[in-house]
């Protein structure tokens, strides 16, 4: 495992044909080290298959390089999250490789964690595809509804009614069910 030559993400190798095409088309981050040159997603795939020696790849300097790169580029939040998930998995794989033979319980925990991360990555991929689909729909303008009719405008008419006429109408309404309202007159204060 330690005698790998530099692995490239492109070229007519069988390995690159096995990797999902979207990873090569739109990588989260390109890793450039002496032991590996290519997308970080490919590095993770190779590390999970034990086809690259993570001990030869300085993950701390890789992270420092990434932080310097995002200071200027300001990638979207989903790409930052993808780097964090992939980076965490690489650190976990490297730590597991550097530790003495793990006990069976730890291996099961590692597998459960790996399954959870894979699920999150799949969910991320689904959301990314859905977002791209919605953006294409929006850009095409075919699925938008602009409203066909103007809303009816209610005219605001002023009705000229005296206070006495309004009070009389109110008394008539109340008088229909038999209740009476006594008419009060304002009295001057003593």
Task: List Cα–Cα distances, 12 to 8, 15, 44, 134, in angstroms.
Answer: 10, 8, 20, 34
Q: Tell me, what's the pLDDT at 13?
A: 34
- Beta-strand relationship, 30-32 and 7-8: unpaired
Q: Detail the DSSP E strand segments found in 29-182.
A: 30-32, 36-39
When the pLDDT of each residue in the chain is averaged and rounded to a whole number, the result is 75
Q: What does the pLDDT average to over 160-171? A: 89
Residue 78 has pLDDT above 50, yes or no: yes
Q: What is the pLDDT of residues 146-155, one digit of tens each?
A: 666 666 666 6
Taking the CA of residue 127 as centre, how many other CA atoms within 13 Å lie in the half-sphere pointing to its CB? 11
Q: What is the pLDDT of residues 132-144, one digit of tens each?
A: 988 888 888 776 6
Q: Tell me, what's the pLDDT at 181?
A: 53
């Amino acid at each position: 495992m330690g005698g790998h030559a530099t692995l490239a993400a492109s070229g007519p190798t069988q390995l690159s044909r096995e990797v999902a095409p979207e990873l090569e088309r739109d990588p989260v981050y390109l890793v450039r080290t002496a032991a590996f040159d290519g997308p970080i997603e490919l590095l993770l795939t190779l590390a999970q298959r034990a086809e690259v020696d993570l001990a030869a790849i300085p993950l701390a300097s890789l992270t420092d390089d990434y932080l310097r790169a995002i200071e200027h580029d300001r990638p979207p939040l989903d790409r930052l999250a993808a780097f964090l998930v992939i980076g965490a998995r690489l650190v976990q794989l490297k730590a597991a490789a550097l530790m003495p033979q793990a006990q069976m319980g730890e291996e099961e925990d590692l597998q459960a964690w790996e399954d959870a991360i894979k699920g999150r990555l799949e969910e991320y991929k689904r959301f990314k595809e859905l977002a791209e689909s919605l953006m294409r729909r929006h850009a095409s303008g075919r699925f938008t509804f602009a409203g066909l009719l103007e809303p009816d405008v209610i005219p605001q008419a002023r009705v000229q009614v005296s206070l006495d006429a309004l009070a009389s109408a109110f008394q008539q309404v109340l008088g229909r069910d038999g209740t009476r309202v006594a008419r009060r007159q304002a009295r001057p204060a003593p």
